[in-house]
Amino acid sequence: MNQNAISYRSSSLGVDGCKEGWVGVAIDECGHLVGSYVSATLKNLLSYFSGIRVVAVDMPLKLVNQPTREADQLVRKELGSKRGRSVFPAIPKFMTDPKWIDANPEDLNIESLKRFGCAFSRQTLNLKNKILEVNQCQSEHLTILEVHPEFCFMQMNDGVPQPFSKKTWNGMQQRLSLLKSKGIYLPSDLGSDVGNISPDDIIDAAAVAWTAKRFSEDLALPYPQDPNGPQIWV
């Protein structure tokens, strides 16, 4: 039997997109770190954590053919003006259709302006392939949740958004402190692969792993509650 299947079957996995591809942080029922991994593809990352049943990903999942999603609007409002800006609008569903999948950003925005009267930032449009990658990894044996790290930290912090950006020293220390308060301790050395990527990506992956764990315990909350549309969990 695959050793990973034994190690990770009762664990929860948090995944964040990064420059290198994807980074995953797995925690056990107590919140203790049991593994971390970075991979160019999500499929390979999930294979590494074989046996995992609940995965939380900081990436839009369900798309709609509208300029905005209710889930994004709700979470943005909860986070307030400062942290709410970290919730990027999800691309419209048509952008992942075969006809448009290879289109350049300029053509996508021209079509979006025709349909909805709005355009999307290059940063938002660049998430298209990662959104497709997540949806291609869906399976009946795996629950994949859409989660937003800043919303996780707000929940850890008794409903108060973080005052400092995650890119700052103060912001990083505050988020590490909140993770520790939930039993999640990230070691000073994560190895030559994970340890060499941007620290905020690792911290975000750990935060969404916490929500995956809460989901396994029936404690996580969906925004909005309607299961028929896109939901962001916390």
Question: What DSSP letter does each residue of 79-128 carry, written as one string?
Answer: HHHHHGGGSPPPPPGGGGSTTTTT--HHHHHHHHHHHHS----HHHHTTH
What pLDDT, on the 0 to 100 scale, is given for residue 6? Answer: 52
What pLDDT, on the 0 to 100 scale, is given for residue 2? Answer: 45
> Among 51, 58, 19, 44, which residue's Cα sits nearest to residue 212?
58
What pLDDT, on the 0 to 100 scale, is given for residue 168? Answer: 97
pLDDT values of the chain reduced to their tens digit, one per residue, 234 residues: 344 445 688 899 999 999 999 999 999 999 999 999 999 999 999 999 989 999 999 999 999 999 999 999 999 999 998 898 888 889 999 999 999 999 999 999 999 999 999 999 998 999 999 999 998 898 888 999 999 999 999 999 999 999 999 999 999 999 999 999 999 999 999 999 999 999 999 999 999 999 999 999 999 999 999 999 999 999
Paired strand residues for 33: 27
- For the chain, the domains span 3-63+144-233
Residue type, 40: A
Using CA atoms, how far apart are residues 192 and 169, in angstroms rounded to an integer? 22
**What is the pTM assigned to this prediction?**
0.92
Domain 3-63+144-233: CATH class, spelled out: alpha beta
In sequence order, which residues have a C-beta less than 8 Å from that of residue 1 and are 6 or more positions away? none
